[in-house]
């Protein structure tokens, strides 16, 4: 098992990563919290694959365990589904001392976290991520949110978990497409901060699963994210680097309809585009652009976008039809392992690059 701590003053927490660790680590964390009631938030898919998993793991802990099962999918990451969590919490008489356990991927983690941050003005929660994406990214750092029809993750809050238990055995049932999508966020951490880590990933393959490699890679990925979050928890500056690939990624998810492409797939295409722009704008060397795009392409799915013109592109990026400044902060790469925030990048310039990108690489993103 590997462990690290996220050191935020007064809200520090441990992240444990390993194979077959849940049974020992989770009850200990629950006992440390001192609660007598745990509410597990999960979805129908996990409930079917791992019935009563958390309930069983906590069976000897002397705590009451209630399980709230939500429908599965990004299209349910909204206020309506969130209110089901609140209904459930009210029905089981949850109170300030109730501990929430998010058992699922990033969608469950984001919704359970948001519920924990708002129910009776905040209750503690633990993350038990079950997808590669949530192992390496969404379970760490305390961003929680639901989607609005007009914008991804637009309704949310910052709420750090009490503890994160990354049990690697759950990856055995994760479909290959989900694994690849999650790998994008892991590679992202190398691309923006740590060339050594990126090179380490180049020496291994994602499939078939190699748990020694995954434990190392997830540990290093969480460490990179944790250090960024420690320096800039609420994204005043530095943390925005973690949004590398997400400007286009979120646009793809919103425009195509939530759930059509996976978050990691959309972000992967967005990272490829951002690397392309970095090269075009003479920040990134050609050989590095080639290494990066060849690596990402191994995991990408072709994305097709219908009826996308400049006006829609602009609105989706700005989230505000009447915005005065038609500009965004866009994350570029200076080199492999170093990103920076390009303040006030004109959306029109990005659109020009995007059109060129789709003409050159229709197998990555195609406009229809």
Ligand X SMILES: NC(=O)c1ccc[n+]([C@@H]2O[C@H](COP(=O)([O-])OP(=O)(O)OC[C@H]3O[C@@H](n4cnc5c(N)ncnc54)[C@H](O)[C@@H]3O)[C@@H](O)[C@H]2O)c1
Interface with ligand X includes 143 (CB under 6 A)? Answer: yes
Nearer of residues 75 and 358 to ligand X, judged by Cβ: 75
How many CA atoms within 13 Å lie on the side-chain side of 122? 7
Q: To which residue do tokens 């050609």 refer? A: 286
Q: Which of 77, 253, 263, 314 is catalytic?
A: 263
Asked if residue 255 binds ligand X (CB under 6 A), the reply is no
Residue 176 CB, nearest approach to ligand X (Å): 11
239 is catalytic: yes
H or E element in which residue 66 lies? strand 64-70
How far, in Å, CA of 29 to CA of 124, rounded?
12
134 interacts with ligand X by CB under 6 A: yes
User: Considering 250, 255, 283, 288, which one is annotated as catalytic?
Assistant: 250
288 binds ligand X (CB under 6 A): no
Of 165, 171, 161, 147, nearest to 263 by C-alpha is 147
The helix/strand count (H/E) of the chain reads as 14, 13
Q: Is 221 one of the binding residues for ligand X (CB under 6 A)?
A: no
- Rounded Cα gap, residues 275 and 277, in angstroms: 5
Contact set for ligand X, span 46-65 (CB under 6 A): 46, 49
106 binds ligand X (CB under 6 A): yes
Give the phi and the psi of residue 141 in degrees, each rounded to 5.
110, -15
Task: Report the distance separating Cα 101 and Cα 116, nearest Å.
Answer: 9
| Active-site residue, 223 included | no
Q: What is the dihedral of CA 196, 198, 203, 207, to 10 degrees?
A: 150
Residue whose C-beta lies closest to ligand X: 106
Judged by CB under 6 A, the residue of 26, 115, 174, 206 near ligand X is: 174
239 binds ligand X (CB under 6 A): no
Pair of tokens at residue 302: 């072709």
Residue among 35 and 221 whose Cβ is closer to ligand X? 221
Residue 366 known to be catalytic: no
User: Is residue 108 a contact point for ligand X (CB under 6 A)?
Assistant: yes
Listed in sequence order, the DSSP H helices in 20-70 are 22-33, 44-49, 53-57
126: contact with ligand X by CB under 6 A:
no
* Residue of 223, 243, 255, 288 marked active site: 243
241 is annotated as an active-site residue:
no
Q: Is 37 an annotated catalytic residue? A: no
Of 16, 18, 22, 74, the residue at the interface with ligand X (CB under 6 A) is: 74
Q: What is the CA radius of gyration of the chain?
A: 20
Active site residue 243: yes
**Taking the mean position of all CA atoms in its chain, how far away is CA 302?**
21
Catalytic residue at 32? Answer: no
User: Of the candidates 319, 328, 312, 309, which has an alpha carbon nearest to the alpha carbon of residue 367?
Assistant: 309
Report the distance separating Cα 162 and Cα 207, nearest Å.
32
Note whether 227 and 219 are within 8 A (CB). Answer: no
Q: How far is the CB of 266 from ligand X (least distance, A)?
A: 9
Nearest approach, Cβ of residue 72 and ligand X (Å): 4
Cα distance between the two ends of the chain: 47
Least distance (Å) from ligand X to the CB of residue 36? Answer: 28
Q: Which is nearer to ligand X, 164 or 327 (CB)?
A: 164
Q: Identify the active-site residue in 43, 74, 77, 143.
A: 143
- Which residue among the candidates 121, 236, 282, 322 is catalytic per the annotation? 121
130 binds ligand X (CB under 6 A): yes
Please tell me whether residue 141 binds ligand X under the rule CB under 6 A. yes
Near ligand X by CB under 6 A, which window of 2-10, 33-41, 104-112, 340-348?
104-112
Of 22 and 327, the one with the shorter C-beta distance to ligand X is 22
What DSSP designation does 60 have? G
Strand bridging mode 365-367 / 303-305: parallel
d(CA 49, CA 276) in angstroms, rounded, equals: 40
> Any idea which residues carry the catalytic annotation?
121, 143, 185, 225, 235, 239, 243, 246, 250, 263
Footprint on this chain of ligand X (rule: CB under 6 A): 43, 45-46, 49, 72, 74, 77, 104-108, 110, 130-131, 133-134, 137-138, 141, 143, 153, 170, 173-174, 178, 181-182, 185, 262-264
């Amino acid at each position: 098992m590997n462990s690290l701590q996220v050191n935020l003053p007064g809200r520090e927490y441990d992240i444990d990563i390993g194979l077959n660790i849940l049974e020992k680590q989770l009850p200990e964390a629950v006992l440390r919290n001192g609660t007598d009631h745990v509410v597990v938030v999960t979805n129908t898919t996990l409930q079917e694959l791992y019935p009563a998993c958390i309930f069983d793991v906590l069976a000897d802990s002397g705590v009451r365990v209630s399980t709230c099962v939500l429908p599965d999918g990004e299209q349910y990451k909204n206020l309506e589904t969130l209110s089901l969590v609140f209904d459930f919490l009210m029905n089981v008489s949850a109170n300030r001392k109730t501990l929430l356990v998010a058992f699922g991927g990033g969608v469950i983690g984001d919704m359970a976290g948001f519920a924990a941050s708002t129910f009776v003005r905040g209750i503690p929660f633990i993350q038990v991520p079950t997808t590669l994406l949530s192992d390496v990214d969404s379970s760490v750092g305390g961003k929680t949110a639901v989607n609005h029809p007009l914008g991804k993750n637009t309704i949310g809050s910052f709420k750090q978990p009490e503890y994160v238990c990354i049990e690697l055995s759950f990856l055995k049932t994760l479909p290959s497409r989900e694994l690849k999508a999650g790998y994008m966020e892991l590679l992202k951490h190398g691309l923006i901060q740590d060339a050594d880590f990126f090179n380490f990933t180049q020496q291994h393959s994602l499939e078939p699963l190699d748990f020694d490699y995954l434990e190392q890679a997830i540990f290093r990925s969480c460490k990179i994210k944790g250090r960024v979050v420690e320096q800039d928890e609420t994204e005043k500056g530095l943390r925005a680097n973690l949004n590398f690939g997400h400007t286009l990624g979120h646009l793809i998810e919103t425009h195509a309809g939530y759930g059509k492409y996976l978050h990691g797939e959309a972000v992967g295409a967005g990272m490829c585009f951002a690397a392309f722009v970095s090269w075009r704008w003479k920040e990134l060397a050609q050989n590095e652009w080639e290494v990066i795009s060849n690596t990402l392409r191994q995991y990408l799915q072709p994305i097709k976008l219908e009826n996308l013109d400049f006006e829609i592109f602009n609105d989706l990026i700005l989230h505000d039809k009447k915005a005065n400044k038609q500009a965004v902060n866009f994350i570029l790469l200076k080199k492999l392992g170093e990103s920076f925030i390009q303040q006030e990048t004109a959306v029109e310039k990005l659109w020009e690059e995007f059109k060129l990108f789709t003409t050159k690489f229709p197998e990555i993103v195609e406009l229809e």
